[in-house]
Amino acid sequence: MAETQFTIGARAYCSDGFCGEVRRVVVDPAARAVTHLVIEPKHRREPGRLVPVGLVATTTGEIRLGCTIAEFDKLDLAEETETVEGVDYAGGYGSAGAVQGYGYASGMGVGMGLGHRSRTVTHDAVPLGETEISRGDHVHATDGEIGLVQGFVVDPGDHHVTHVLLQEGHLWGRKEVAIPISAVTGVDDGIRLSITKQQVEDLPRADIEHPNR
């Protein structure tokens, strides 16, 4: 069975129509497996949905889900908002650290009036023990940053990651490569590799699907 590409930015379709774009990929670092895709509704002012990878039917250049748009809309939200105490009298904020089991705060607002000591914090919802990878997260070789994450290649049978899709280089001389998962040592603060920049540069070009081009 052919391996499957989960390219961040790919268009996603339910059985009855277009539902959005893949914005993030959620992985279980211990199992080295993709667990969810975060699909953001297009042209709709709504949070993205956490889509279990088991709902992905096909990925031939675009994501096809085995559910209807109505069923998609009922999936868990990929963002949560809560009220947090602790805004100082000048209206400033403390550091927006991670909430246990979730990603870092991505936006916040303050109640009206000087001295109000509460704020609303919107953070990415990520299952406990898992982590999310976004397009543009940095990939670090042993001797420095080498490029940006484009997505993942997975085994469709068990959803284990086999390769990380990387855009190596900058505006000029860009090359897209697939890095074997065996070369990945961690996914904290970007993806960290056990190989050097030169070893990444020596990898052959990868045929990465770009359905929006």
- The string of pLDDT tens digits covering residues 82-112 is 777 665 544 444 434 444 344 444 444 444 4
CB 120 within 8 A of CB 82: yes
Tokens of residue 13, six digits: 């379709």
Q: What is the mean pLDDT of residues 21-30?
A: 93
Residue 81 CA to residue 37 CA, distance in Å, equals 20
Enter the CATH code of domain 4-73.
3.90.50.10
The token duo for 88 is 């100082």
Q: Where are the domains of the chain?
A: 4-73, 79-125, 132-201
Percent of the chain's residues with pLDDT above 70: 74
Over residues 165-197, the pLDDT tens digits come to 987 665 445 678 899 999 999 987 889 999 999
Give the C-alpha separation, 191 to 213, whole Å. 25
3-class secondary structure, 156? coil
Evaluate the CA torsion angle 84, 86, 88, 92 in order and state its sign: negative
Q: How many residues does the chain have?
A: 213
Taking CB atoms within 8 Å and a gap of at least 24, the contacts of 142-149 are 142/193, 142/194, 142/195, 142/196, 143/196, 143/197, 144/197, 146/193, 146/197, 146/200, 146/201, 147/200, 149/8, 149/190, 149/191
Domain 132-201 in CATH: superfamily? Answer: PRC-barrel domain (2.30.30.240)
Quick: pLDDT tens for 28-81. 999 999 999 999 987 667 789 999 999 998 776 789 999 999 999 999 998 877
